[in-house]
Structure 1
Amino acid sequence: MRDRKELGKWGEDQAAQLLQAKGFEIIARNWRTRGGEIDLIAKEHDVLVFVEVRTRSSTLYGTPSESVDWRKQQKLRQLSLAFLGQYPERVHSFRFDVVSILRHGKNKQAELTHIEYAF
């Protein structure tokens, strides 16, 4: 379990760096409510972006982005509404992105894919 959490944390760090390099401003990391957690909330120009980060070390059970299924999408929609309810002044428009990370072994080489408007 510890390795899995470390892989997830590492992936979120990589995703945040990728988004910042693209000019995004990170608003929140691991934003939580009783209902769950949003990995990253960022801003690109006037658009609020809710980002799901998925990191895997193999494709044995599919790619990281394939694991963002309908159920997870619904959960993220609900969480985003909770965030928007708490911070209505930040909203002009919003979208959902996915950052898919496939890490190749412990050498930390990885393939990062940023999917804008993922759902």
Structure 2
Amino acid sequence: MAEHNELGKAGENAAVAYLEDNGYVIRHRNWRKGHLELDIVAAKENKLVIVEVKTRSNTQFTMPEDAVDLPKIKRIVRAADTYIKLFQIDASVRFDIITVVGNKIDFKIEHIKEAFYPPLF
């Protein structure tokens, strides 16, 4: 596995551990349906929480959350809509971003709640 893929997997594992430590129940990791994908689907306090995880070794050139641009948001929202319909979920939905920066031994995690809302177009 390429080094950046290993870093991404380690970052996602750290994000899952962070969420579980903070009372979230993980419903799915890397959920896929066709070309649609959600990094983490969690639940807490009767909310469905869709979490996009961005892992970087450093922030020298850009912040990890900057990679979640409008086209990425549209794909996440489309995937979330499919997930909600498929599993017949009747709960409010929140879209979060978790940034994981560092190496596999010493990550800095930031949880951005309500990082974005579904676009209205």
Q: Same fold (TM over 0.5)?
A: yes
What is the deviation of 1:60?
A: 3.1
One-letter identity of the residue aligned with 1:110:
F
Structure 1 length normalisation: TM-score? 0.92
Q: Structure 1 residues 61 and 71, CA, compared in 2 at 3 Å: closer, same or farther?
A: farther
Find the counterpart in structure 2 of residue 54 from structure 1.
Answer: 54
The aligned length equals 116
- Counterpart CA distance in 2 for 1:100 and 1:118 is 11
% same residue = 34
CA RMSD of aligned residues (A): 1.3
Decide which of 87, 111, 115 is 1:118's aligned counterpart: 115
1:63-108 C-alpha deviation (Å, 9 max, x unpaired): 11111111111110000011011011x33111100000111x46x2
1:84 alignment partner AA: I
- Give me the whole-angstrom Cα distance separating, in 2, the residues matched to 1:35 and 1:14: 25
SS of alignment partner, residue 115 of structure 2: coil
* TM-score, scaled to structure 2: 0.90
Q: What are the ranges of 5 or more consecutive residues in structure 1 without an aligned counterpart?
A: none
Q: Does 1:18 align with 2:15?
A: no
Q: Measure, in 2, the Cα distance between the counterparts of 1:9 and 1:50.
A: 17
The structure in which a higher percent of residues are helix is: 1
